[in-house]
C-alpha cells in the first residue's frame, strides 16, 4: 500500500493581506510556519519517498517544514543547466555519461534523501486582472457574485487569467506522467502546492463533476491523505475543513 498526500501551503502574507496571490512569490507568515509544522507532525509516521511542489516559494517553504519531521532529508532534483549541446559537451569533457544529470542529488546517498521535483504545472492559478489586487476592492468593483463565479467556476476564470479547466489541463497530465507511476510502484508521495492546482488533482482523482468541484476548498497546511487501494486512490481522512469556504 502506498500513500498520496496533498497539502496546500501554509498561510502566506497575502492570505493575511486579502490579496489574490496567484503566481506572485509571497512567503509564509509565522502562522503559516506553525501550520506547516503541525502538518509535519500529523504525517510524521508516514515515511515519504518522493516529493513534488510548485515553483512558488510559499509551497516550497511549506514542503521543507513538513520534511523536517522525516527521517530522511529532502533535496531538490534540478534539470541540467544550459542547452542540450552545452550539456553534452560539458559531460564529454568531464568524462561523464551524457545521460547523467550532474545537477541531481548524489546517487550514492540516494537512500538517505527524499527527492523533490518542482514544476510550474503545480503552480497556483494565474489571476489575470485580479492578480495582486485586494479581494475586497475587487468585490466592490465587479460584485461579490462575479468574483465567486470566476474563482469557483470550472470553465470560466478571471479575464486574462486561468480557469480551473486551464489548471486541470496542465496539472493532471503532469500528475499522470510524473506522480502516478511512483505511487503504483509502492512509494509514498507528497504534493505540496496550492488551492487550485490541488483542486484540479482532487477533481481528477475522485471524479468530481464540474459543478461539485465548486464546493471543494482546502485549508492551509491540512493534509488530504489517499491510499492506493484496488488500483485506485481512496481518500482516507475526513472532508475538507468547512471553515475555508470563506476563503477564495
Residue 57 pLDDT greater than 50, yes or no: yes
Domain count, the chain: 1
- Band (112; pLDDT cuts 50, 70, 90): confident
In a domain, 245, yes or no: no
Strand stretches in 25-112, DSSP E: 50-53, 73-76
Q: How far is CA 214 from CA 83, 133, 196, in A?
A: 42, 22, 11
Residue 246 included in any domain: no
Record the cell numbers describing residue 92, joined without a space.
564529454
* 134-137, Cβ contacts within 8 angstroms, sequence gap of 24 or more: 134/17, 134/18, 134/19, 135/18, 135/19, 135/20, 135/248, 136/18
Residue 180 lies in a domain: yes
* Structural domain of 87: 3-240
The residue with greater pLDDT, 70 or 230, is 70
Q: Which of the residues 9, 35, 42, 162 is marked catalytic?
A: 9
* In a domain? residue 247: no
Predicted confidence at residue 102, as pLDDT, reads 52
Asked whether residue 94 is domain-assigned, the answer is yes
Cα distance between residue 220 and residue 7, in whole Å: 8
For the domain that residue 60 is a member of, what is the CATH number? 3.40.50.1240
DSSP labels for 183-206? HHTT--EEEEE-HHHHHHHHHHHH
Q: Whole-model pTM?
A: 0.86
Catalytic annotation present for 204: no
Is 156 noted as a catalytic residue in this protein? no
Residue 248 lies in a domain: no
- Rounded-to-integer distance, Cα 127 and Cα 145, Å: 16
In a domain, 236, yes or no: yes
Which of 51-65, 189-203, 213-227, 234-248 is least confident? Answer: 234-248
Q: Look at residue 14 in the predicted model and tell me its pLDDT.
A: 92
Bridge partner residues of 151 (DSSP): none
From the list 11, 42, 124, 162, the catalytic residue is 124
Amino acid at each position: 500500500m502506498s500513500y498520496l498526500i496533498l497539502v496546500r501551503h501554509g498561510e502566506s502574507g497575502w492570505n493575511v493581506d486579502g490579496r489574490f496571490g496567484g503566481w506572485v512569490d509571497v512567503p509564509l507568515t509565522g502562522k503559516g510556519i506553525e501550520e506547516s509544522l503541525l502538518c509535519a507532525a500529523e504525517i510524521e509516521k508516514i515515511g515519504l519517498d518522493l516529493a513534488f511542489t510548485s515553483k512558488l516559494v510559499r509551497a516550497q517553504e511549506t514542503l521543507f517544514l513538513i520534511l523536517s519531521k522525516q527521517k530522511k532529508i529532502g533535496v531538490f532534483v534540478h534539470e541540467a543547466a544550459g542547452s542540450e549541446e552545452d550539456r553534452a559537451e560539458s559531460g564529454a569533457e568531464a568524462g561523464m555519461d551524457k545521460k547523467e544529470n550532474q545537477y541531481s542529488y548524489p546517487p550514492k546517498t540516494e537512500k538517505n534523501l527524499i527527492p523533490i521535483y518542482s514544476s510550474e504545472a503545480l503552480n497556483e492559478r494565474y489571476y489575470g486582472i485580479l492578480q495582486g489586487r485586494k479581494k475586497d476592492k475587487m468585490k466592490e468593483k465587479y460584485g461579490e457574485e462575479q468574483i465567486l463565479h470566476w474563482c469557483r467556476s470550472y470553465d470560466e476564470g478571471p479575464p486574462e487569467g486561468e480557469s480551473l479547466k486551464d489548471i486541470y489541463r496542465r496539472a493532471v497530465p503532469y500528475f499522470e506522467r510524473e506522480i502516478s507511476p511512483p505511487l503504483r510502484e509502492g512509494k509514498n508521495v507528497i504534493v505540496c502546492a496550492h488551492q487550485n492546482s490541488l483542486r484540479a488533482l482532487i477533481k481528477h482523482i475522485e471524479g468530481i463533476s464540474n459543478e461539485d468541484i465548486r464546493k471543494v476548498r482546502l485549508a492551509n497546511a491540512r493534509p488530504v491523505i489517499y491510499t492506493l487501494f484496488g488500483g485506485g486512490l481512496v481518500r482516507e481522512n475526513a472532508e475538507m475543513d468547512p471553515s475555508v469556504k470563506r476563503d477564495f
